[in-house]
Amino acid sequence: MKYTAAHWGSYQFDPGDTELTPLDGDPAPSRIGRGWVSAVRNRDARVMAPVARRGWLAGDRGAARCDDTFVEIGWDRALDLAASELDRVRQTHGNSAIFGGSYGWSSAGRFHHAQSQMRRMLSVAGGFTSSRETYSHAAAEVLFPHVLGLTHRAFQDQVTAMPLVTEHCDVMLAFGGLSARTAQITAAGTSTHEVAPWIHALKSAGVRVVTISPERGEAQEDWLAIKPGTDTALILALIHEILRLGREDRGFLERYTSGWPTLERYVRGDSDGIPKTVAWAAQICDLDAGDIADLAEELTRKRVMVSLAWGLQRADHGEQPIWAGLALACVLGQIGQPGTGYAFGYGSTTPVGRAARLIPWPSLPKAPNQVTDFIPVARIADCLLQPGQPYRYDGQTRHYPDLRLIWWTGGNPFHHHQDLFRLQQAWCRPETVIVNEHSWTATARRADLVLPATTPLERDDIMMNRRDPILLFMSRMFDPMGDARDDHTIFADVAERLGLRDAFTEGRSTDGWLRHIWARAESVAKAHGFALPEFDTFRTEGRFDVPHATERRVAFSQFIAAPDAHGLSTESGKLTLFNRTIAHMDLADCPGHPVWLAPIEGGALDSGTFHLITGQPDTRLHAQNDMGSEAQATKRQGREVCTLHPDAAAMLKLTEGDLIKLSNARGACLCAFRTSPDMRADCISLPTGAWLDVQDVDGTLMDVHGNPNVLTIDKGCSGLSQGNIAHTSVVRAERWTGPLPALRVTRPPVIAS
């Protein structure tokens, strides 16, 4: 038996198999995995050989980058060109003109992690401009150190264990919902999927899960169908009603928080003249005031978990709902108790709340990056369009670097970025774009050099996730397709041309690196009281289960038990409900305490316009596996499928088989549709990840495949975090009556060498 792993699960196979079987013991295997092999083996979607853009070879430095043909050039020439271009830019413009772009989702393996390989090579070559935070939760990543005294990663590691919620909670407020669909995945791989069984267990145990979302969700019966982007107003009103009832936990607020008097004055309306009453919130949130009041009263009598999904803060002013949610949990005074308190990320990814030991397994060693410049990850288009211009970030005024070379590995910004037509305009600004990629993504199609990379099914690696109880040796299942090479080999050969091979590889082959990482893992295991098998034994057996792997954590339990001995790393040593540091930044879009700020879009809607919801699909990870059988089977007429309420479909006069055009000032796309009563009638839900297919349709640029990010807004959620606001957009919908454009989402025109 052999094993392999991906961000959506772990699998087993026998040598010679052409299909994967989910790992024994996984209670709810991912749907995404059912399309993995077919996506990897889709020759029309794979990059089969090194290619260069024809215009770039002729001297064009970007004008035609987003619409050109490619020429096969062979590995030797491709590597020579990549190395010489990297050297030219660093010698002419300095290493800060090089941007290392990678989002880290290419492999669950510890060694063949594209982002790590690329950053190591660029670092030994003198450094590069990097990015910070993630598209997933940038607002939380910047906010949490200020208000929790923890990094986002550290807080995710200590979120209260799911079984404790089942055993001790009466009411879970699930802002943004609780989803097994989004919980199919985790960075660094997962052996099991516990969220779907957990949702069932919550219902069986009688826990009232209140879904607060424009969509009902997958398994909950109690639903507050809130208007998108208004959760902060609802939370403030719940706090106001608890204050009106006189049931706030004053003792908790005084001992464990700082800044409560300032926030209390705001909630009561003393500081701005607007009491945050249930009637006030009902108008903003489009909810019944009585339902809000009843919920607030119930919270004061029950054991409550305030849970916020990651997607909640991917919106304009995204810091506010997660900060307000913390305030509500503090007012209730149940933080630090088993099964209650405050959580961020339940259901957003597999291991949040997993009752497992945390073990800091090693990974590929980093090399020091001599370039200190960076940009917030979601500000790449701003950087390319506005070099040298200032921007605010976490109390600093920074300036965008002048990027001349982009090297992108293991990611697809033409999936996960916003306002993709704007990104396409920005993408023509650098002098050169180099992409390592196994498939013809929209980013690969917009590169100057494309270097074909292997997939995880075509190489050996090791899966070991600090939040997972199983270690797997990831065995190669297939030979590399075409001329594909793994990223380590590609970068080692580039480094050799720069005279840096030894600095990059440290004299180790791929097998040598796997053995080196395993040897370091043996030391980690020993420090945690158990022993790992020898490397060759592990390679043969393929699987190791960590002993005594269960650990039930309670968030902030040590702080609550002894706040003086275990003070938090905030400005006050406590949970901060008013933060002086943030207040002194003087940001209109992120003041010093949670506030209600109306989003940039989404006020009163005109007829035919809708709030756009862009959640994760259940058939792929972001855009990965979109060319696989599972994702393809869910499309209609080859297009992605949106969901709208039956009343909205009737208003638009839609019938079965129709296509819809969604549009706004930023762009337009075509999609199919289905109806569901389990969503607000003023919303349309279109999953992310359909491969971008931009075409000129009657003089208008349009994505004809159903990618919602041609419609979303490319703006930072605030001057604090500069996170993305993918969930703040309004679109116009209409039935498509024109001819149906043919799809062009796989191999672009390539001229054979």
Write out the catalytic residue numbers. Answer: 103, 105
CA 179 to chain centroid, in Å, comes to 15
At 725 the three-state DSSP class reads: strand
Measured at the alpha carbon of residue 22, what is the angle toward residues 17 and 26, in degrees to the nearest 5? 160
Measured at the alpha carbon of residue 746, what is the angle toward residues 740 and 750, in degrees to the nearest 5? 115
Rounded-to-integer distance, Cα 45 and Cα 220, Å = 38
Rounded-to-integer distance, Cα 271 and Cα 583, Å = 15
Q: Which of 720, 605, 729, 731 is nearest to 317 (CA)?
A: 720
Q: Which residues pair with 426 in a beta bridge?
A: none
Rounded-to-integer distance, Cα 91 and Cα 105, Å = 31
Rounded to whole angstroms, the maximal C-alpha distance in the chain is 78
Q: Which residues pair with 471 in a beta bridge?
A: 544
**Please, are residues 128 and 371 in contact by the beta-carbon 8 Å criterion?**
yes
Task: Region of 124 please: left (phi>0), alpha (psi -120 to 50) or beta.
Answer: alpha
Rounded-to-integer distance, Cα 534 and Cα 541, Å = 11
Measured at the alpha carbon of residue 270, what is the angle toward residues 265 and 272, in degrees to the nearest 5? 105
Provide the residue count of the chain: 753
Identity of the amino acid at 335: I
182-214 core/surface letters (b: 16 or more CB in 10 A; e: else): bbbbbbbbbbbbbbbebbebbeeeebbbbbbbb
Q: Which residues contact 603 (CB under 8 A, 6 or more apart)?
A: none
Tokens of 155: 């807080």
Tokens of 496: 């050799």
CA 51 to chain centroid, in Å, comes to 30
Tokens of 172: 């879970």
Q: Is 369 exposed, middle or buried (0-12, 13-18, 19+ CB in 10 A)?
A: buried
DSSP character string of 623-669 = TBTTTSHHHHHH-BTTB-EEEE-HHHHHHTT--TT--EEEE-SS-EE
Tokens of 304: 């409550």
Rounded-to-integer distance, Cα 149 and Cα 170, Å = 28
**Please, are residues 7 and 189 in contact by the beta-carbon 8 Å criterion?**
yes
DSSP character string of 558-616 = HHHH-TTTT--SSSSSSEESS-HHHHHT--TTS-SS------SS-SSPPTTEEEEE---
